[in-house]
Structure 1
Amino acid sequence: MAELPPILAVFAHPDDEAFPTGGTLAHYARRGHPVYLACATRGEAGQLKDPTLTVEDMGAWRTQELEASCRALGIEPPIFLGYRDSGRNERLRRDDLQALHNANLWEVEAKIRDLIAALQPKILITFDPHGGYGHPDHLVVHRAVAAAFYSSGYLPHPPQRLFYSVFTIERATAMQQSGQADSILGGLDPKVFGVAENTLAVRMDVQSYLPQKRAAIAAHRSQFADRIQAMNANLERLTLMEQMLSVETFALGGTRGPITRWPLQDLFDGL
């Protein structure tokens, strides 16, 4: 029996995979697809959100969290690209030459293209053009992955589709109106950082993968502990999060073949 085609997801930090794509990655892994996750950094600039933890090396700690998340989702162990977390806003590491936002974009693209050549994924997944919520590292990864999708066309087995993980305008608006002061979209225009419904290429119902997805989120305890505690204390926020966790949405960033219907039924529809 032939092996099912691989998927490669590329993100910037440990935890980027859990909320927006965890159910989708778990779904395809369970179906037998090799599912790989490349992470540009080890999340060194992350802020410790769980005061009960003693963390001396944030990068090493978050590496272990990402490894645990991958096990929970049933996907391959993470692949690290070797850059440092840039932080953002007032914590932006402007003088760190190893920080991802200071990296040579062509070098980042080349590393991703090398992974494509080695793993031969049929599907690529990454951030949308706004980097989800404008994080500088997310923007670098988006640009590098999009560039690698196109520059890998000469390879014997280039990826056939590139997908962006996206929020809809309605979901982005609901996140803000729920009173989540710590929302990643706080203060951002939902019409800019979200997408219209007719932009969605795929809407994945991942309700049946919520146990794996919750376990992946829980693995990132250093980053999510305070948010999970706040949600559990507020039924409205918990209900909204349950709705968000159950559906994952993707826009189409590129294709090497015809799209015969819209929207697609899943990432491989028509391939």
Structure 2
Amino acid sequence: MRASLLAVFAHPDDETLRCGGTLAHYAARGAEVTLVCLTRGEAGRNTDPALQVECLATQREQELQHACRILGARPPIFLDYHDSGRGERLRRHDPDATINADPLEMEARLLAVIEQVRPQVMLTFDPHGMYGHPDHLVAHRVATAAFSSSGFRRVKIERLFYTVQTREEMLALQSGQALGVLDGLSPDVFAVCDCTIAARLDVRAHAGQKRAALFAHRSQTGPASTLGTLSEAQLQPLLSTETYSLGGSRGVIPEYPLTDLFAGLRVDFPLPGPPS
């Protein structure tokens, strides 16, 4: 069976920062790479004053489509929920916001995608959602639930991985021109220790793609954003290595930590991998 990878995230740009290199790596090997996005990120804000935006949801959808093309992934699949916002902008009364949606309905929509794309491996947020965004936590919960219930269905996902940040990475992102969403958060809660890392991928060969995909999200990486103004010292580690913890497995893990998310699985890659 052809290798198939499914990534499940909440907003446009979530897919690139922590696993864009992984998506590009497997797409380059001929795997089918599919992204599910719960929302269109309409509760965010445009951080590029030079960008004329009439509808932020449409703008961010187009940016995600562009990023997916850069990474070699299929066109994104939107589950059509609304961005919940966070903090003072939390949309408590929007019935279509992910925080208010029926979680079993959301899981059913994701399971329908799983039946369609037949992934062996699925990626999503860690249990803390990187920085606790309510939509990130929903994405984590629905993907984990779908992994569990897929065991009773025709398409059984073999492995679930969570995108994680090491303590050193988080501290670097909190220094200098700090990534604002991490302000005041403890690395001992929102990062992971080395023994938790179940997979570590070298993505340096795709650093250019990952950088281009990140900045394809122009409304999120403008001069008024902290994401778009990270220093090279902060950005470089994110362009070289991507790390994961293990959310679940239906078989033996051949090594720990893995250097290939598909290691030991009976799948075909139509294109050769990187030279050893």
- The alignment's TM-score, normalised by the length of structure 2, stands at 0.92
Give the alignment's Cα RMSD to 1 decimal: 1.2
Deviation at 1:69, TM superposition (A): 0.2
Deviation at 1:156, TM superposition (A): 2.5
Q: State the alpha-carbon separation in 2 of the partners of residues 141 and 67 from structure 1.
A: 19
Question: Which residue identity lines up with residue 32 of structure 2 in the other structure?
Answer: P
Q: State the alpha-carbon separation in 2 of the partners of residues 206 and 10 from structure 1.
A: 20
Q: State the alpha-carbon separation in 2 of the partners of residues 256 and 228 from structure 1.
A: 36
Q: State the alpha-carbon separation in 2 of the partners of residues 181 and 20 from structure 1.
A: 17
Question: Which residue identity lines up with residue 182 of structure 2 in the other structure?
Answer: L
Deviation at 1:225, TM superposition (A): 1.4
Counterpart of 1:234 in structure 2 is none
Counterpart of 1:264 in structure 2 is 258
Amino-acid identity (%): 53
Deviation track 1:133-164 (CA, whole Å, cap 9, x = no partner) reads 10000001100110100101112231100000
Point out where structure 2 has 5 or more consecutive residues left out of the alignment. Answer: 266-276
- The alignment's TM-score, normalised by the length of structure 1, stands at 0.94
Please, which of 27, 31, 34 is the counterpart of residue 32 of structure 2? 34
Deviation at 1:117, TM superposition (A): 1.4
Counterpart of 2:69 in structure 1 is 71
Deviation at 1:260, TM superposition (A): 2.9
Q: State the alpha-carbon separation in 2 of the partners of residues 17 and 182 from structure 1.
A: 17
Indicate the SS of the match to 1:174. Answer: helix
Deviation at 1:230, TM superposition (A): 3.1
The worse-fitting range, judged by mean Cα deviation, of 126-135 and 179-188 is 179-188
Q: 1:151 to 1:194 in 2, by over 3 A?
A: same
Deviation at 1:26, TM superposition (A): 0.3
Point out where structure 1 has 5 or more consecutive residues left out of the alignment. Answer: 232-236
Counterpart of 1:238 in structure 2 is 232
Q: State the alpha-carbon separation in 1 of the partners of residues 34 and 122 from structure 2.
A: 10
Q: State the alpha-carbon separation in 2 of the partners of residues 115 and 51 from structure 1.
A: 36
Question: Which residue identity lines up with residue 32 of structure 1 in the other structure?
Answer: G
Show the 5 A alignment for 1:124-139. Answer: 124-139=122-137
Greater helix proportion: 1
How many residue pairs were aligned? 263
Counterpart of 1:91 in structure 2 is 89
Question: Which residue identity lines up with residue 64 of structure 1 in the other structure?
Answer: Q
Q: Is the 8 A contact 2:220 2:227 kept in 1?
A: no
Counterpart of 1:122 in structure 2 is 120
Question: Which residue identity lines up with residue 253 of structure 2 in the other structure?
Answer: I
